[in-house]
DNA sequence: CTGAAAGCGCTTACAG
DNA sequence: CTGAAAGCGCTTACAG
């Protein structure tokens, strides 16, 4: 049924070796046969079989995108963006792409190296790992280069990429302080996500630099979940303590917080400002619109793929452990900024 | 580096043929050697190489999930759910999974059959195609079985799956008519998506059955886009014609419609009811919450994968052209239903 | 510039 | 119940 390299070779009057060479862009091929081969291949509709190529070749690189359950939230399209970023880089750089949606549970059934072996994975980008996932250690010890999104781990073949979470959250906090708010709290994500810790650090730094102090209950944890965030915020408000700003480690949690504020008849931003993180679509359409930090996940995906490409070619300085991708603090109505539509 | 079948065979004192047989679940293997092989394989951390398997085997099936750009909206996690549905079915049924995020443009560079050849795709599930995509004809004429999500096309090896869009939209429309609304309009999606036509049909049927008639401008098209929907709704309201309900072909458009209503100081649901489609996360959290139709995309993904499995095994009746997956009309505040939280 | 040949890591009739 | 051998569709030293 399918047309194979042999068919093309025969029709072009050459060997399969030659056809292979022109398809792999070898330089020493006569212009004449190159043209002929392409012509015949196009007419026959030939496409090289990928399984055969990966089996016989050392140079066909496949990069895997490993998405752990941490990112599979129903709430946003974030992980879809990562997929597109990585895919597009691979597509335009002659690398194979393979997606592996895993879970902490699945990680116990198959080690990272086993996964890489079975699929001939040359390098991987990994997103959504908790800091206590079994994969972490396996990745550090693995030979295969991996680029971690949002999580720094040790390992000679490992580089991580993320926005500067500390700086970003600090920037956001400073903004609300500048607006005259002096009793901010933070709604943080699950502690086993490294970004939670970094964002908390940025929050604390801004508070500290401003000469303010934080009560013990100023940091709440709501696992990046909208309902948990709402519940936590309701409790906080019910306790009667003074709160005039909430820095949230995700937009979903910011939504939950706003619901709780509304229920308590607190006006946003007049009585209490709110900032999220991620810049998911709804932040532009909620009422009020939500200030947040844009991460541009598709770009991060692309950069990550490029990094594994560089890692594969030894083009990453050995002391490079982490790359910061650009972020942007976007102010909207929830921090008192009303852009004219 | 990697451990291969030969290593296991040697360590277990058998041939690679035997190892292959136990790993493929052949029945005629002595209990003793089966155990031994598994034991050795586990100790060595052996996993069969997939490229080698797909190259040499007729029975290793790989199913591709082809996601076209139509579904890559930033607004929701819908396509992520499809991915998980298909992936999980494959994972638990010994089939290989491969994701191909394509675009109408990419479809011109590589035919459907070429894609299937190069990746040894035995069957595919396809989502997000426009009715004028080049893939449509190629799929109809292709030998490889495909399950289309949300789009019926001809073809002997083709089955489609979707919710009953006509019935669903009819049901929603009837509900708002029952609430006493008599000037409904529809905010429809891009006409090149089949679901748009079906949902419109359901809407029209409900109107017709109720003995009402529709003006020419009762159906608007906003390409599933929130901003376009808002703009279209603003225009409609500005025109001064009477509107007391808006049936939308997607939740995103429902959001846009609600924004326009709010800007015109029309209360939802008192002055105008709104219905969306998809049940994306925000519908539960917008204010008011949005009535909508739940599709359960992850389930559809799973059913679709199962269908290609059946297609592959000739277990689908030849006259079966389409499967309806269950949907559920969920009433919320935007149609006057206030569930106690 | 191009061929002949070995090899990638499996699977599967074919024998026994 | 298990081996020996051919084959899946490519790539790539090795010659020439």
User: Could you tell me which of A52, A81, A133 has the C-alpha nearest to residue A280?
Assistant: A81
User: Could you tell me which of B250, B128, B116 has the C-alpha nearest to residue B187?
Assistant: B250
Neighbouring residues of A190: CB distance < 8 A, sequence distance ≥ 6:
A70, A130, A196, A221, A223, A224
A135 shares its domain with A26:
no
Place of tokens 């360590």: B11
A150, part of any domain: yes
CB A265 under 7 Å to nucleic chain D: no
A217 shares its domain with A171:
yes
Measured distance CA(A297)–CA(A279) in Å, rounded: 10
A341 pLDDT band, cuts 50/70/90, is very low
User: Could you tell me which of B287, B296, B290 has the C-alpha nearest to residue B326?
Assistant: B296
Q: Is A74's pLDDT higher than 70?
A: no
Tens of pLDDT, residues A88-126: 999 999 999 999 988 888 888 889 999 999 999 999 999
A22, part of any domain: yes
Could you tell me what percentage of chain A is helix, strand and coil, using 3-state DSSP and rounding each to the nearest 5? 45, 15, 35
B278 shares its domain with B189:
yes
Q: Do A79 and B84 touch (CB under 8 A)?
A: no
Q: Is B54 on the interface with A (CB under 8 A)?
A: yes
Q: Which residue range forms the structural domain that includes residue A274?
A: 165-294+330-335
A190 shares its domain with A228:
yes
- For chains A and B, CB pairs below 8 A equal 116
Q: What is the full per-residue pLDDT of chain B (341 aa) written as tens digits?
A: 689 999 999 999 999 999 999 999 998 899 999 999 999 999 999 999 999 999 999 889 999 999 987 666 656 666 788 898 999 999 999 999 999 988 888 888 889 999 999 999 999 999 988 888 889 999 999 989 999 999 999 888 899 999 999 999 999 999 999 999 999 999 999 998 899 999 999 999 999 999 998 888 999 999 999 999 999 999 999 998 999 999 999 999 999 999 999 999 999 999 999 999 999 888 888 889 999 999 988 999 999 999 999 999 888 888 889 999 999 999 999 999 886 54
A269, part of any domain: yes
A119 shares its domain with A13:
no
Q: What φ, ψ does residue A119 adopt, rounded to 5°?
A: -110, 10
Average pLDDT over residues A42-63: 93
DSSP secondary structure code for residue B14 in this structure: S
CB atoms within 10 A of CB B222: 24
The helix (H) or strand (E) run that includes residue A44 is helix A31-44
**Residue whose Cα is closest to the C1' of C9:** B52
B245 shares its domain with B261:
yes
Strand order in the sheet with A121-127: A96-102, A62-68, A121-127, A146-149, A158-163, A322-325
Cross-chain CB nearest to A117 (options B49, B101, B113): B49
Q: Mutation test of the interface with chain B: which of A78, A101, A103, A265, choosing the one with the most B Cβ atoms within 10 A? A: A101
Place of tokens 């030979």: A143
CA of A24 to C1' of C5 (A): 20
Measured distance CA(B66)–CA(B127) in Å, rounded: 6
Could you give the angle at the alpha carbon of B132 between the alpha carbons of A97 and B134, nearest 5°? 45
CA of B198 to C1' of D7 (A): 50
pLDDT value at position A273?
Answer: 97
CB A179 under 7 Å to nucleic chain D: no
Q: Which residues share a beta bridge with B77?
A: none
CB A16 under 7 Å to nucleic chain C: yes
**Strands B292-294, A322-325: pairing kind:** unpaired
A residues 237-256 closer than 8 Å to B (CB): 255-256
Measured distance CA(B101)–CA(A129) in Å, rounded: 23
How many residues belong to chain B?
Answer: 341
Structure tokens belonging to residue A109: 């059934």
B196 shares its domain with B261:
yes
Q: Is A291 on the interface with B (CB under 8 A)?
A: no
Could you give the angle at the alpha carbon of B62 between the alpha carbons of A24 and A56, nearest 5°? 30
Measured distance CA(B341)–CA(B325) in Å, rounded: 29
B102 shares its domain with B177:
no
Q: Mutation test of the interface with chain B: which of A281, A290, A298, A305, choosing the one with the most B Cβ atoms within 10 A? A: A281
Cross-chain CB nearest to A51 (options B73, B84, B120): B120
- Report CA-CA distances (Å) from A152 to A159, A193, A250, A252: 7, 11, 19, 24
Helix (H, G, I), strand (E, B) or coil at A88: helix
A107 shares its domain with A200:
no
Total domains in chain A come to 3
Q: Do B77 and A73 touch (CB under 8 A)?
A: yes
């Amino acid at each position: 049924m399918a047309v194979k390299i042999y068919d093309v070779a025969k029709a072009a009057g050459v060997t399969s070796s030659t056809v292979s060479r022109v398809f792999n862009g070898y330089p020493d091929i006569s212009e004449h046969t190159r043209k002929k081969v392409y012509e015949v291949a196009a007419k026959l509709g030939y496409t090289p079989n990928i399984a055969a190529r990966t089996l016989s070749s050392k140079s066909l690189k496949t990069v895997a995108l490993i998405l752990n359950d941490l990112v599979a939230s129903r709430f946003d399209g974030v992980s879809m963006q990562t997929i597109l970023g990585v895919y597009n880089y691979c597509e335009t750089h002659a690398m194979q792409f393979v997606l592996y949606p895993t879970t902490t549970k699945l990680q116990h059934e198959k080690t990272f190296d086993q996964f890489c072996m079975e699929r001939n994975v040359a390098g991987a980008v990994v997103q959504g790992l908790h800091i206590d996932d079994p994969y972490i250690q396996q990745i550090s010890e693995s030979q295969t280069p991996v680029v971690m999104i949002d999580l720094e781990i040790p390992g000679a073949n490992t580089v991580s990429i993320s926005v500067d979470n500390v700086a970003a959250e600090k920037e956001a906090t400073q903004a609300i302080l500048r607006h005259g708010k002096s009793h901010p709290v933070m709604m943080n994500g699950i502690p086993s996500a490294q970004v939670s810790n970094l964002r908390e650090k940025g929050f604390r730094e801004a508070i500290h630099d401003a000469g303010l102090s934080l009560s013990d209950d100023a940091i709440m944890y709501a696992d990046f979940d909208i309902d948990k965030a709402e519940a936590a915020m309701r409790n906080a408000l019910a306790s009667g303590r003074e709160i005039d700003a909430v820095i949230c480690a995700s937009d979903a949690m910011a939504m939950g917080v706003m619901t709780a504020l509304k229920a308590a008849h607190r006006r946003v931003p007049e009585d209490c400002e709110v900032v999220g993180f991620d810049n998911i679509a709804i932040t532009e359409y909620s009422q009020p619109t939500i200030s947040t930090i844009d991460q541009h996940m598709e770009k991060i995906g692309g950069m990550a793929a490029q990094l594994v490409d560089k890692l594969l070619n030894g083009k990453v300085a050995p002391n490079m452990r982490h790359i910061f991708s650009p972020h942007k603090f976007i102010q909207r109505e929830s921090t008192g900024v009303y852009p004219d539509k």
